[in-house]
Structure 1
Amino acid sequence: MLRAGVELLNAANGVRPLAREGYLTIPVFAFGWPTSEMSPLYLAGSMLDAARRGLRGDFRGGRGRLALLLNAVTWALLYLIHHRNVSSQPHFEDPLREALGPEYPAISEAARADRRRLVGVWPHDLIRRRYVEKAGTVRYGPHPSVNHADIWRRADLPRDGKAPVLLQIPGGAWAIGMRRPQAYPLLSHLAEHGWVCVSIDYRVSPRHSWPDHIVDVKRALAWIKENIADYGGDPDFVAVSGGSAGGHLTSLVALTADDPQYQPGFEDADTSVVAAVPVYGRYDWVSARGSGRREFIAFLQRLVVKKPITSNRQIYADASPLYRVRPDAPPFFILHGQDDSIIPVPEGREFAEALQEVSTGPVVYAEIPHAQHAFDFYYGSPRAHYTAQAIEEFLSWVQGLRQAARHESAQRNSAAR
């Protein structure tokens, strides 16, 4: 009976987070996250266990029948979770079509060099080994213990080519920042489509303090601009993406190109990007209003910035992408889950609206129904696949527009001669 009750509670938490306020959201996320993305595994395991217990006679009597009923309700909820997950693809595609126009798939297609796809569910480490050569792990900065990066590329990609490049910034509350095993569905999808991807580690708290995190990200970006051609990448087409804390850093690096404040010792380095894709990020380090905001600001003061906001408000404002929106921002594709219990969805909405109001470039916002935090993590999750597919579509669209603009410019120059 207890086991059946726990399974039902876990499934209900996967359907809808049981808490959205305070520190209780952390265990709610920890248990609900895998359930909401990998429910078929939970369903299969629960049914096999029920069959085993049934053969043992555990479902005899009133309590046993009640436990079986609870199991049946759990299975129905797990099926509902999977159905919603599988059916979520339009929520990734429709915002792109609405913001970029109905012709965007054709523009994206024109930019693709290859249509090979990775098939099947691979263990995370095998995915990385498929695309990251032994010589593909590099050091990009002066801090040898943390300034490491994996370079994802197909083995048959020409070294003298000009493949589009993605800088992937891991999340982890500015306190973990491990590149492995984050964003593997996205990295493998892009690598299979002929991209070169650079997944980085960076200095994290509490050992290090803000702004060390963003300084390292910019160092990595500067390294890419100087060295990625050796790996077949195009230094003139570098996009950036990341989730959670990585989503915050993605947005900030895209909105602070060449800002000397975050480039000590390499102020002249080019740190611009052609596009940014933040996923379920934090965009406001100032406001204490809203769900979980007070706890978040307290966390920043205690472990990340390590300075009180009352006397250092400008530091927090400068670190907030929400207060950095600008007319010349690069194209943005912002994704957020409606059921995010770690970073509530109003954070994504507010940032998208602020950027759309100011930026002269495209700003796409996709809000994914029923999606928890980190909905793109698990390889084999439909949402992870849809996320990777949508990001590749968006970035290929950006690349296609740039290619078309260069072609038109070349034609005009030729006609003028």
Structure 2
Amino acid sequence: MSQGFLVRQVLNAALTANALRPVPGMPASVAAFFAGWLTSELAPQQLGATVVDAAVHVARRGARTPADRVGLALAAASAAGLTANIVASRRAGSEVSAALAEIGVDDPGAGRPLDWRSAARPFQMRRSGVRRVRNLEYAPGGKRFWVDVYHHRDTPPNAPMLLQIHGGGWVVGSKDHQGLPLMVEMAARGWVCAAVNYPLSPRAKWPAHLVAIKRAVGWMRENATRFGGDPGFLTVTGGSAGGHLAAMVALTANDPALQPGFEEVDTAVQACVPFYGAYDFTGESEIKAVRQRIESGLTEMIFGKDATVPDDYLAASPLAKLRADAPPFLVIHGTNDTLIPVAEARVFVERLRAVSANPVAYAELRGAQHAFDIFHSIRSDQVTRGVAAFLEAVRAGTVGAAVRPVSDPAE
């Protein structure tokens, strides 16, 4: 019993330490992500389990052996670390509110008490009145060209629209598993939202992913009135690979080279909210982790062995597509992201701000890992509220333009 308790607490302490300070380096990045992501966003649940485990052990066995005492010490250390994680998560609301304030957007939810009930039910995605219409075909080709539409049963006419693009490294992922808290929240507010699939590598080669998303944009506009949406107001969001694709949609509006056979379709969007996206496909940011990603087998899977380097890579890089008429952006990234470095987001924001005539807000979340928004948590629910404030301000035309420089991108 003592040895089992000790083993559990060793594992618990390791997970907590990795959540606070992820294991560095490309080889460990995926493992560090999975362990850190779940621990960070489920820290209250893990803290409760730690306290219960320690209390039950003391009640049954006390602290008679060295293994008992080491296990209890590790439990105490884990509890302290998890508490620190929870405190950092609670700051997410103020971090997003501060980012919005810089572009003149007021966050009406700032300072409100946390909804602990939502965080306590992380995988509960239902909301009263919100309907989900599944597996609609936006283009021929099977399930990779399906979209789910979320809308409220009382959606007003000409409702604003939001398109969600899933992540998964351009090779995995599904509309069914990502962005759901934001989809449901915006639908509950009267927006028409859609989560979209797209063809995946290695079968699909760039730019097939982006071309499909642009087809989905056209489909949304064509079918907007069917669900009560406004075809003239469409915004886009996504995480990781989806964040990259969302940025590319926003920065390549109506590019005929990316709209083969539907060149006349309007693919412009009115705002973009990329979460922990990839923005550099050539290494021009000079960030070590970015260069390692570019040189990895993943990039070859996306572009194929016959891709022209650097021209094809440059064509897929948001950093190479910056434009003065880019729509308003809210860029979101966590400091503990082990899959896509936070420095990459800083470079993108700095350079987009230097070019764009529209505001570019940047929310850097202390302690957040990759994919922190996939389910409800203390952090993700506050960020969702802030994203809603940003999108509704864009809709209302009340977004300003004041910004400040981001942190040093050379980290």
TM-score by length of 1: 0.87
Could you say if the C-alpha distance between residues 250 and 280 of structure 1 is closer, same or farther in structure 2, counting changes exceeding 3 Å?
A: same
| Residue matched to 1:307 | 305
CA-to-aligned-CA distance 1:235-264 (integer Å, 9 cap, x gap): 100000001000000000101011112111
CA-to-aligned-CA distance 1:281-313 (integer Å, 9 cap, x gap): 00011117423223311234431111366x431
- Listed as ranges, the gaps of 5+ residues in structure 2 are 1-5, 110-114, 400-411
| Residue matched to 1:22 | 26
2-structure distance, mates of 1:296, 1:286: 10
Matched, 1:174 2:173: no
Secondary structure, in 3 states, of the residue corresponding to 1:146? helix
Contact kept, 8 Å, 2:244 with 2:274, in 1: the verdict is: yes
CA RMSD of aligned residues (A): 2.3
Residue identity opposite 2:178 in structure 1: Q
Deviation at residue 164 of structure 1 after TM alignment: 0.5
| Residue matched to 2:54 | 50
Contact kept, 8 Å, 1:328 with 1:361, in 2: the verdict is: yes
| Residue matched to 2:223 | 227
Could you say if the C-alpha distance between residues 22 and 249 of structure 1 is closer, same or farther in structure 2, counting changes exceeding 3 Å?
A: same
Q: Which runs of at least 4 in structure 1 moved beyond 4 Å after TM superposition? A: none
| Residue matched to 2:36 | 32
CA-to-aligned-CA distance 1:95-142 (integer Å, 9 cap, x gap): 1111x22xx339x89xxxxxxx99745564652896334x45311011
Q: What pairs up with 1:155-174 in 2 under 5 angstroms?
A: 155-158=153-156, 161-174=157-170
More helix by share: 1
Deviation at residue 371 of structure 1 after TM alignment: 1.1
| Residue matched to 1:113 | none
Could you say if the C-alpha distance between residues 355 and 223 of structure 1 is closer, same or farther in structure 2, counting changes exceeding 3 Å?
A: same
1-structure distance, mates of 2:278, 2:299: 15
2-structure distance, mates of 1:387, 1:215: 29
Contact kept, 8 Å, 1:258 with 1:267, in 2: the verdict is: yes
Deviation at residue 2 of structure 1 after TM alignment: 2.6
Which of 6, 10, 24 aligns to 1:5? It is 10
1-structure distance, mates of 2:26, 2:230: 44
1-structure distance, mates of 2:8, 2:361: 43
Deviation at residue 280 of structure 1 after TM alignment: 0.6
1-structure distance, mates of 2:125, 2:357: 42
Contact kept, 8 Å, 1:37 with 1:383, in 2: the verdict is: yes
Deviation at residue 22 of structure 1 after TM alignment: 1.3
Contact kept, 8 Å, 2:240 with 2:276, in 1: the verdict is: yes
Matched, 1:105 2:109: no
Residue identity opposite 2:21 in structure 1: R
Secondary structure, in 3 states, of the residue corresponding to 2:167? coil
Deviation at residue 402 of structure 1 after TM alignment: 7.8
Which of 40, 59, 64 aligns to 1:60? It is 64
CA-to-aligned-CA distance 1:148-191 (integer Å, 9 cap, x gap): 11101112224xx1111000011110011311121111111111
Secondary structure, in 3 states, of the residue corresponding to 1:105? coil
Residue identity opposite 2:26 in structure 1: G
| Residue matched to 2:317 | 320
Deviation at residue 370 of structure 1 after TM alignment: 1.2
Could you say if the C-alpha distance between residues 389 and 77 of structure 1 is closer, same or farther in structure 2, counting changes exceeding 3 Å?
A: same
Matched, 1:374 2:371: yes
TM-score by length of 2: 0.88
| Residue matched to 2:144 | 146
| Residue matched to 1:295 | 292
- Listed as ranges, the gaps of 5+ residues in structure 1 are 110-116, 404-417
